Structure 1
Amino acid sequence: MVLIANNDKQKKWDKLYAQQGELSQLDILCLTCGGYHLTQDHWKFMAEEMPKDPLEMIDDLIKMRVYKQDSLALAQTISAADLRTELFFKTIGRTNPERERLARELAGLAGGLDQAFSAAFGHRSAEFFSDAKRINGTSRRRFLRNVAIGAALVTLASCGQNADTPPPTADAPDDVPPPSDLEKTNLKIGFIPITCATPIIMSEPLGFYKKYGFDASVIKMPSWAAVRDSAIAGELDAYHMLAPMPIAMTLGLGSATFGVKLASIENINGQAITVSNLHKGKVNGPADFKGFTIGVPFPYSMHNLLLRYYLATGGLDPDLDVKIEAVPPPDSVAKLAVGDIDAMLMPDPFNQRAVFEDAGFIHLLTKDLWPGHPCCAFAASDEWIDANPNTFRALNKAIIDGAGYASDPANRREIATAISERAFLNQPEEVVAAVLTGEFDDGLGNTQNIPDRIDFDPYPWQSFAHWISGQMVRWNFLPSDQASTKEEYDEIGKDIFLTDLARELSKEVGQTPPEDEFRTETLKFDTFDPADPDAYVQQQIEEYGV
């Protein structure tokens, strides 16, 4: 095995190792980081020959104690933006020049911090995945080496410290006494790392949870299926959900029947149809998607319903003429880059990230399909709400207050900074800011300025519930005998969408919510009258054949 180390350093470590030979391996003090593990093993990951299989390599490195499993997990969440400055090296050095020199040599070996972390885990991942299509021994070994170096750097930075220590939080926005009758104050709130979750995410670093008396932690979830399953298992107190999910879960669609309330809307707009650059110049309208594989984040999502709505207007049957595939949002850009999907209707920031990675272009913002459409929501289970009524009310109020703050364009750049962190979105701040401000490149050579690309309005209109239920009937997700009359639509909407409570809480935080529960919704290709949702569905079927 060839080690990348100077001979004097290696001899010193060999001598120490021999002197401490009678000690347990776990008791050997590391000269590099001050921890207890095999001191020589900091260098072993730099061997010229490594296992060809990534999983084997990671297993070997863990066994060698180059880093622990939690260090690998942390490495996978770190973005290059966190490590670009000299502060990173100074932090590792902790006034020890040898530690700092080691970190710099490791980074240099990989070609710089961007190469060590970004190529392995972050901003240039799509470039690697593209290379993987024509992979050879050199590029594969280079990538694996950078994975190892990135994780080892994380170990050096975090050794002797609690790597999971959260960043300091800002003071609460307003100095008001929190409620004193809360049944529970330590809360776990699940979220998917997308900009739709902005009110839920930003309420931790910007102090909105603290303002309302909570020590709340937002828990990053890998997929919507995981959110659903964790909700049913009772592992979370409340959740970030796609707006159709509470309807689907309460009615037992796609899972066991489990009562969930949609307490308030998190975001309106904020999605896009993004197409692989392989199809640039070939896609001008819905008919051009024929034969495509298209990613959506979850079957019971506004993304799936809006995509189907759009495709049908081009004469396509979404169940026959294309393949719609559920893709966890964090996986979407890589799948687009390698050609696993041709296009996607995804939440941001992944549409903008695809442009950033030069993997795709933005074909259509969903605000152009339906201005002001709902996307994601704050939700909690019936059981949890019944057990914690005061907590639920205060928590919903915190989210509504946060959504109001996020709706002000003047606050968007501050929010982008707060939620881009690795604990939250783990995205380049410039990508998140492009989404939140509406100042963005579309991947077609145009710089756009669309301030309402995403917006935040917590009011859960009952007309939203009616449109969602109607489209579920249209696409056979919901049996027509469960929603065929206005009364049946009303029953679903009023049972699940807590419009009256959201109005009440909005007023308490100083907002001016609508007094009406319904409004006529104007979409790109038609107008939805919530007074007769069944007639709307039948009209669509007659006009487009699906």
Structure 2
Amino acid sequence: MQTMPQDPLDMVNDLSKMGLFKADAFKVADSITGQELRQALFLKMAAKGDPKRERLVVELAKQAGGLDNAFAAAFGPQSGQFFADSIRASQFTRREFLRNLAIGAAMVTLANCAKAPDESTPTPGESVAPVEGLEKTDLQIGFIPITCATPIIMSEPLGFYKKYGFNAKVVKMPSWGAVRDSAIAGELDAYHMLAPMPIAMTLGLGSGAFGVKLASIENINGQAITIAERHKGKINGPADFKGFVLGVPFPYSMHNLLLRYYLATGGLDPDKDVQIRPVPPPDSIAQLVAGDIDAYLMPDPFNQRAVYEGAGFIHKITKDIWPGHPCCAFAASDAWIGENPNTFRALNKAIIEAAGYAQDPANRPEIAKAISDRAFLNQPVEVVEAVLTGKFDDGNGNTLDIPDRIGFDPYPWQSFANWISSQLIRWDLQDDGKVAEVITPDTYNTVGENVFLTDLARELAIEVGQTPPEEIYRIEKLAYDEFDPADPSTYVQAQIDKYGV
């Protein structure tokens, strides 16, 4: 340590060679607050009972002029502003500040390296430093009883809400319309929403304009097209659905948009050749059996439950239509976020951490047991476990093993928002031209970036040890085409030209 170079750039190089510093640690060092990382907790995390490691951390702190100086420089929530203030106050030189930031980043990396391999994902309910400044701790979070809501639901029984200082209760809602109406009425603090809903609500599509932010994605994939048993052997592709009555959970849903996308590839006009109607997911199997609908594109566990009951068979999982597509999301209103900024940040962080836990296949049997309870999904454990593990019967005599049948990647890609907007334009669900008025070729990015909180989700994911992407847009590869988020209008026109709708 006595030979530690004083030049910050040389220090970074040395620390890199020692394996104590990674470039990503700068981001963490810039985002963690001193309140969340107090000296005792940090030493405990970094040392893990190893006296040599603890001495190394202490020596690093000495090089920075003490833990307070290192934390102030490295972990300030706005380090750029801190540096400017420091220069004016003549407390630090620029070189000293950069040195401390480099040391702080090394300390963050050291703490992360201290985790054992099986500790990369936090243990449910594991305590953290007290969360300070929460405007509200008693929370009610609305959810629909489907596996898409897994991170929101499991955070209650597995202790993720408690870990961040909340006494939070999840509230079972009967339909997406009820979720929307309760959100507008202010009856809930936050909600489980379909990914298109925050866009639609903010733009005033299907309801009065009401500002909602999509904070993080709850699940990717995880849906399926299920067909009534009476049609077995008759359906081979989208063209065979002509004349069907089809259920989706809500007009402004990925289910509706994906179903329309799929049907159009078979030459069907979703507004003329079939009937698509909203069906609350809990009612879907009963309507399938009664003959009110012929098939549905629904979230699980209702596809797997239809197989379990002998009511229907799985025709296609949505992963085969768009691998990695978004489905549901965690959301809150603009007004509530403005009134409770610290609470919102901590709550979103808890759910992002829960999503990371759910993404690990090893944790899914435990999660299935926790969320199958009557208070949550009220489903047989074996049905929920079949969905979460991807080991399932499809009702056609096949036993499948598809581990990514459902996933829990919380990162809200802006390209998701642009695809959703493109399909709202394509199908004009209100049939009055309003969609084209509020989403134009020049406003695709603006709409998405105003609603999807991608940067915040990345920041919080890094804080809980995840590795989200740097990019916010990507080319989305669907089964029948590729979506370039830089040119949604051309994409929509190409779809219309190819399929006629």
| TM-score with structure 2 setting the length | 0.74
Match of 1:129 in 2: none
3-state DSSP class of the match of 2:446?
A: helix
| C-alpha contact 2:192 2:328 (8 A) present in aligned 1 | yes
Displacement after TM superposition at 1:175 (Å): 2.4
| Cα distance between partner residues in 1 of 2:130 and 2:321 | 41
- 2:195 corresponds to 1:240: no
> Which amino acid is 1:526 matched to?
D
Match of 2:356 in 1: 404
Match of 2:160 in 1: 208
| Cα distance between partner residues in 2 of 1:479 and 1:424 | 35
Alignment of 1:303-318 (within 5 A): 303-318=255-270
Match of 2:437 in 1: 481
Alignment of 1:286-435 (within 5 A): 286-435=238-387
- 2:394 corresponds to 1:442: yes
Match of 1:223 in 2: 175
Displacement after TM superposition at 1:173 (Å): 3.3
3-state DSSP class of the match of 1:340?
A: coil
| C-alpha contact 1:190 1:219 (8 A) present in aligned 2 | yes
| Cα distance between partner residues in 2 of 1:441 and 1:314 | 26
> Which amino acid is 1:360 matched to?
G
Match of 1:491 in 2: 446
| C-alpha contact 1:352 1:431 (8 A) present in aligned 2 | yes
Displacement after TM superposition at 1:464 (Å): 0.1
Alignment counterpart, residue 422 of structure 2, candidates 470, 490, 500: 470
3-state DSSP class of the match of 1:479?
A: helix
Match of 1:500 in 2: 455
Alignment counterpart, residue 509 of structure 1, candidates 447, 460, 464: 464
| Cα distance between partner residues in 2 of 1:178 and 1:322 | 55
| C-alpha contact 2:239 2:268 (8 A) present in aligned 1 | yes
Match of 1:59 in 2: none
> Which amino acid is 1:545 matched to?
G
Displacement after TM superposition at 1:483 (Å): 2.3
| C-alpha contact 1:212 1:394 (8 A) present in aligned 2 | yes
3-state DSSP class of the match of 1:445?
A: coil
| C-alpha contact 2:212 2:333 (8 A) present in aligned 1 | yes
User: Which stretches in structure 1 are left out of the alignment for 5+ residues?
Assistant: 1-170
Q: Show CA shifts across 1:8-33 (max 9, x none).
A: xxxxxxxxxxxxxxxxxxxxxxxxxx
Alignment counterpart, residue 144 of structure 2, candidates 184, 187, 192: 192
Displacement after TM superposition at 1:176 (Å): 1.2
Match of 2:104 in 1: none
Displacement after TM superposition at 1:197 (Å): 0.1
Displacement after TM superposition at 1:480 (Å): 1.9
| Cα distance between partner residues in 1 of 2:143 and 2:466 | 25
Q: Show CA shifts across 1:253-293 (max 9, x none).
A: 11111000000000000000000011100000000000000
3-state DSSP class of the match of 2:443?
A: helix
| Cα distance between partner residues in 2 of 1:421 and 1:361 | 25
Match of 1:534 in 2: 489
| C-alpha contact 1:172 1:210 (8 A) present in aligned 2 | no
| Cα distance between partner residues in 1 of 2:289 and 2:351 | 35
3-state DSSP class of the match of 2:129?
A: coil
Displacement after TM superposition at 1:482 (Å): 2.6
| Cα distance between partner residues in 1 of 2:366 and 2:412 | 26
Alignment of 1:150-161 (within 5 A): none
When residues 480 and 176 of structure 1 are mapped into structure 2, their CA distance, relative to the original with a 3 A threshold, is same
| Cα distance between partner residues in 2 of 1:482 and 1:287 | 33
Q: Show CA shifts across 1:45-90 (max 9, x none).
A: xxxxxxxxxxxxxxxxxxxxxxxxxxxxxxxxxxxxxxxxxxxxxx
| C-alpha contact 2:222 2:319 (8 A) present in aligned 1 | yes
Displacement after TM superposition at 1:172 (Å): 4.5
Q: Show CA shifts across 1:186-206 (max 9, x none).
A: 000000000000000000000
**Aligned CA-pair RMSD:** 1.1
| Cα distance between partner residues in 1 of 2:319 and 2:240 | 20
3-state DSSP class of the match of 1:459?
A: coil
| Cα distance between partner residues in 2 of 1:353 and 1:333 | 8
Q: Show CA shifts across 1:300-335 (max 9, x none).
A: 000000000000000000000000010000000111
Displacement after TM superposition at 1:409 (Å): 0.1
Number of residue pairs matched by the alignment: 376
3-state DSSP class of the match of 1:274?
A: strand
Q: Provide runs of 4+ in structure 1 moved above 6 Å.
A: none
| Cα distance between partner residues in 2 of 1:351 and 1:456 | 18
| Cα distance between partner residues in 1 of 2:222 and 2:243 | 26
| Cα distance between partner residues in 1 of 2:130 and 2:418 | 36
| Percent of residue pairs bearing the same amino acid type | 76
| C-alpha contact 1:305 1:471 (8 A) present in aligned 2 | yes
| Cα distance between partner residues in 2 of 1:192 and 1:484 | 32
> Which amino acid is 1:224 matched to?
W
Displacement after TM superposition at 1:453 (Å): 0.3
Displacement after TM superposition at 1:524 (Å): 0.4
> Which amino acid is 1:188 matched to?
Q
> Which amino acid is 2:271 matched to?
D
Displacement after TM superposition at 1:177 (Å): 1.9
| Cα distance between partner residues in 2 of 1:413 and 1:341 | 32
| Cα distance between partner residues in 1 of 2:397 and 2:257 | 29
Displacement after TM superposition at 1:180 (Å): 1.4
| C-alpha contact 1:177 1:211 (8 A) present in aligned 2 | no
| Cα distance between partner residues in 1 of 2:353 and 2:265 | 38
| C-alpha contact 2:125 2:162 (8 A) present in aligned 1 | no
| C-alpha contact 2:139 2:167 (8 A) present in aligned 1 | yes
| Cα distance between partner residues in 1 of 2:125 and 2:475 | 35
Alignment of 1:42-57 (within 5 A): none
Displacement after TM superposition at 1:338 (Å): 1.3
Match of 1:181 in 2: 133
| TM-score with structure 1 setting the length | 0.68
| Cα distance between partner residues in 1 of 2:361 and 2:418 | 30
Match of 2:214 in 1: 262
| C-alpha contact 2:203 2:438 (8 A) present in aligned 1 | no
